[in-house]
């Protein structure tokens, strides 16, 4: 967004299903319980190189863009005016973090809907195209086969028991190929329909539905939903109840979860004048799986945008481990792959600094007729490789079903 661009936000009638508004597959989206923001076209785009300063560089770039814009905002809610969608790499050594300011945005929040349009010489409009589902989807191993990944888990448990660290999160990938191009709009619609409680997202080819809200900022109010500890859902009511009780009673999952809660609390506390943490986890239940969940809420002590808060929190123990640097080094050693933007922050920030950022989970990178899916597990001293492999299969399931229909 260069000087001379004009931004206008106006109220509009209820647009219905926001995802049906997307004219083409190069979508930006953030949907939760039917509300959210979708965008298309490009007013500006930034792709960032590797480096620990990728978040700070993006903040500087956005500040320049938003300060130079001529903004008329008749709605003045979080998400009005110019909005940047973003997706950042997990590892600072990885290239490919991206920010996109769509040229057109349609959004709804609490019964209020709005349209934001950006005009100017550098704006690229989106070309409309019909959406077709993937066809003849075939699957192949990712960077490690299942037995190789189990060996990595066993190696991690040995290192944990030796006292090198307390928790590490190990991920694996899986490849899908289709005889037809994979359209992100089809995946988004299927994910949102099957898991409305998740945050369904798309940004620069990364598509998914994450249950984990890294940070939400509305003015000075902030909140985070911490998830760690996972169990599949049961096939019957009795089985489901038994699995839920087992998750709540599991010492291994309680340990894994507490590390994640402590991580978010310790990172947010210096930024907040007031911070509250749920005294005990609750069950967050989705169609295929359930998590131990803890909500953290606070009031900022000073100025910090949602993007800056996401940068401060990343990486939490929920997707890296603890201690952080030791866990990150072990991930680099054992995973055998570059995660790319999987498990990095994904979300949006507006020109006032409000926004929502999740952790890019239950997702895949879509490129033409191919997709690369990801799933990971928190490994602690009590972890067993076969059980962790089964957990990854459960976590692959939402994206596999979205691809297969």
Write the burial class of residue 76 (CB in 10 Å: 0-12 exposed, 13-18 middle, 19+ buried).
exposed
pLDDT of residue 3 exceeding 80, the answer is: no
Mean pLDDT in the chain?
A: 94
Q: Write down the pLDDT at residue 301.
A: 94
- C-alpha–C-alpha distance, residues 331 and 187, integer Å: 29
- C-alpha–C-alpha distance, residues 78 and 354, integer Å: 6
Half-sphere exposure of 346 (CA within 13 A, CB side): 34
pLDDT of residue 154 exceeding 90, the answer is: yes
Specify whether the backbone of 205 is left (phi greater than 0), alpha (psi in -120 to 50) or beta. left
Residue 76 lies in a domain: yes
Q: Residue 206: which CATH number?
A: 3.60.120.10
- Measured over the CA atoms of residue 235, residue 239, residue 241 and residue 246, the dihedral's sign is negative
**3 state DSSP class of 62:** helix
Structure confidence by residue, pLDDT tens digits, 163-206: 999 999 999 999 999 999 999 999 999 999 998 999 999 999 99
- C-alpha–C-alpha distance, residues 29 and 210, integer Å: 13
Helices 324-334 and 146-161, interaxial angle, to 10°?
Answer: 150
Residue 1 lies in a domain: no
The C-alpha angle with vertex 346 and arms to 351 and 176, in degrees rounded to 5, equals 145
**DSSP label of 94:** -
Mean of pLDDT values over 242-267:
91
- C-alpha–C-alpha distance, residues 351 and 83, integer Å: 6
pLDDT of residue 141 exceeding 60, the answer is: yes
Q: Which residues are catalytic?
A: 167, 212
CA distances from 140 to 137, 226, 353 (A): 10, 32, 41
Residue 226 lies in a domain: yes
Structure tokens at 26: 């190069």
Cβ contacts of residue 285 below 8 Å, gap of 6+? 233, 244
CA distances from 124 to 28, 103, 120, 209 (A): 14, 7, 9, 27
Determine the structural domain holding residue 281 and report its residue range.
6-404
User: pTM here?
Assistant: 0.94
Quick check: 327 and 318 in contact, CB under 8 A?
no
What whole-number percentage of the chain has pLDDT above 90?
Answer: 87
Q: How many domains does the chain divide into?
A: 1
Quick check: 344 and 88 in contact, CB under 8 A?
yes
Q: Note the Cα 348 to chain centre separation in Å.
A: 10
Mean of pLDDT values over 294-301:
96
**3 state DSSP class of 155:** helix
- C-alpha–C-alpha distance, residues 289 and 377, integer Å: 13
């Amino acid at each position: 967004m260069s000087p001379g661009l004009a931004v206008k936000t106006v109220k509009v009638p209820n647009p219905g299903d926001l995802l049906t508004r997307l004219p083409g597959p190069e979508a930006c989206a953030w949907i939760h319980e039917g509300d959210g923001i979708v965008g298309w076209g490009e007013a500006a785009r930034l792709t960032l190189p590797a480096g620990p300063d990728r978040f700070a560089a993006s903040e500087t770039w956005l500040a320049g863009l938003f300060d130079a814009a001529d903004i008329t905002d008749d709605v003045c809610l979080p998400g009005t005016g110019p909005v940047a969608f973003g997706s950042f790499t997990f590892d600072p050594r990885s290239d490919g973090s991206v920010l996109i300011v769509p040229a057109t945005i349609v959004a709804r929040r609490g019964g209020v809907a709005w349209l934001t349009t950006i005009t100017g010489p550098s704006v690229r409009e989106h070309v409309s195209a019909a959406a077709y589902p993937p066809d003849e989807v075939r699957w192949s191993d990712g960077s490690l086969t299942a037995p190789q990944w189990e060996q990595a888990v066993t190696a991690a448990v040995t290192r944990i028991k030796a006292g090198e660290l307390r928790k590490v999160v190990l991920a694996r990938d899986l490849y899908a190929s289709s005889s037809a191009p994979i359209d992100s709009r089809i995946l988004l619609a299927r994910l949102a329909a099957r898991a409305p409680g998740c945050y369904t997202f798309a940004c620069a080819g990364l598509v998914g539905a994450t249950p984990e809200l890294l940070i939400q900022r509305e003015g000075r109010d902030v909140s985070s939903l911490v998830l760690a500890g996972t169990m599949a859902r049961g096939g019957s009511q009795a089985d489901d109840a038994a699995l839920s009780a087992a998750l709540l009673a599991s010492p291994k999952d309680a340990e894994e979860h507490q590390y994640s809660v402590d991580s978010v609390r310790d990172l947010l506390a210096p930024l907040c004048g007031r911070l509250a943490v749920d005294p005990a986890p609750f069950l967050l239940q989705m169609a295929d799986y359930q998590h131990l969940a803890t909500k953290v809420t606070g009031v900022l002590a000073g100025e910090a945008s949602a993007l800056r808060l996401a940068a401060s929190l990343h990486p939490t123990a929920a997707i890296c481990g603890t201690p952080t640097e030791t866990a990150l080094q072990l991930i680099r050693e054992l995973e055998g792959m570059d995660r790319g933007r999987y498990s990095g922050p994904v979300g949006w920030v507006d020109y006032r600094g409000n926004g929502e950022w999740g952790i890019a989970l239950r997702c895949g990178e879509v490129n033409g007729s191919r997709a690369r899916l990801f799933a990971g597990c928190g490994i602690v001293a009590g972890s067993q490789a076969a059980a962790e492999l089964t957990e990854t299969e459960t976590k692959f399931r939402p994206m596999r079903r979205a691809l297969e229909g």
